[in-house]
Amino acid sequence: MRPGTTRRALIQGAAAWAVAGAPRAARAQLKPLRVGSALPNPPFELMTANGPDGFDIELMRLIAEDIGRTWQLVPYTGSDFNGIFAGLDTGAYDCVASGTTVTSNRQQVADFCAPYALSGQSLTVDVTRHPHVRSIDDLRGLTIGVQQGNTSEPVADRLVAEGRAARVRVYPYDAIATALDELSNGGCDAFMKLAPVMHWLTRDRPKLKVVQTGITRELLGVCVRKGDAELRDAIDDAQQALRDNGTLERLVERWLGRGATIAPI
């Protein structure tokens, strides 16, 4: 994501690509697999000059091809990530692929396919402001920033409840750039999010460093609407084929890097 790129521009670009991304003849013949994703969420999904790209984008294109359908991106625009699952019930999209952690609460509103990756929360600080913060054990008296609906939120809440941090500041899901800016200007002292995302987002911010990874252990995967066993099974079969031929592991290594590994079987 280029500095200064607005989320609205990303969403408009994604929507345009969703219509134009597949050959016209193929779109006319095949029912698209509509995939809900929250942008920007690199390296899982991001917009480039050539259209949407990222781990989930590449994975779901391959899965759609395997099950005989075209691929269509449907951007999620809500401020609370957990709102993305409502789009399954309304029919806005057929599945969600957005670096999504499998949790017991989410399993009550969606059916998850087999996990594709194992990752965990990480901690990022501006090392010029907080040179001595190296882990969640160094947060006493400090404010932790999280995104609304992110699985980092209950982790941060627990640290505050245990007296290990002062407070939690919750940012709208689409305000990640603001949160990162405020690590430097004092709006928050540390930010918590999945490691692959924070490694990516801090590449062009030399003052920001990912000082801890592996805070949690989280399985990530695609989900479908409750009761859609046919689509869940089709995605599982396609993903298993990608695992068997080594493609899934290569995608994890290429896009998610040191922040994740392929999910254990």
Residue 128 neighbours by CB distance under 10 Å: 11
pLDDT at 31: 87
SS3 of the chain: CCCCCCHHHHHHHHHHHHHHCCCHHHHHHCCCEEEEEECCECCCEEEECCEEECHHHHHHHHHHHHCCCCEEEEEECCCCHHHHHHHHHHCCCCEECCCCECCHHHHCCEEECCCCEEECEEEEEECCCCCCCCCHHHCCCCEEEEECCCCHHHHHHHHHHCCCCCEEEEECHHHHHHHHHHHHHCCCCEEEEEHHHHHHHCCCCCCEEEEECCCCCEEECCEEECCCHHHHHHHHHHHHHHHHCCHHHHHHHHHHHHHCEECCC
For a pLDDT cut of 70, what percent of the chain falls above it?
Answer: 89
**End-to-end CA distance of the chain, in Å?**
33
Binned at pLDDT 50, 70 and 90, residue 16 comes out as very low
pLDDT at 15: 46
Sign of CA dihedral 105, 111, 115, 117: negative
Question: Does residue 18 surpass a pLDDT of 60?
Answer: no
Question: Does residue 9 surpass a pLDDT of 80?
Answer: no
Domain-wise residue ranges, the chain: 7-118+219-262, 121-212
| CA–CA separation, 12 and 73 (whole Å) | 11
Up-side HSE of residue 146: CA atoms within 13 Å toward CB?
23
Average pLDDT of the chain is 92
Q: Mean pLDDT throughout 211-234?
A: 98
Sign of CA dihedral 86, 150, 263, 50: positive
Predicted TM-score (pTM) of this structure: 0.88
Question: Does residue 149 surpass a pLDDT of 70?
Answer: yes
pLDDT at 89: 96
Contacts of 250 (CB under 8 A, 6+ apart): none
pLDDT at 5: 45
Domain 121-212 bears CATH identifier 3.40.190.10: yes
Binned at pLDDT 50, 70 and 90, residue 176 comes out as very high
Question: In CATH, what number does 7-118+219-262 get?
Answer: 3.40.190.10
For a pLDDT cut of 90, what percent of the chain falls above it?
Answer: 86
Question: Does residue 20 surpass a pLDDT of 60?
Answer: no
pLDDT at 30: 67
Summarize pLDDT for 23-56 with one digit per residue, the tens: 544 444 568 999 999 998 999 999 999 999 999 9
CA 168 to the chain's CA centroid: 21
Backbone angles phi and psi of 200, in degrees to 5: -70, -50
Residue 183 · residue 143 · CB < 8 Å: no
Pair type for strands 46-48 and 51-53: antiparallel
Binned at pLDDT 50, 70 and 90, residue 3 comes out as very low
Binned at pLDDT 50, 70 and 90, residue 163 comes out as very high
CA 160 to the chain's CA centroid: 24
Whole-Å CA distances, 70 to 29, 204, 228, 240: 9, 34, 19, 19
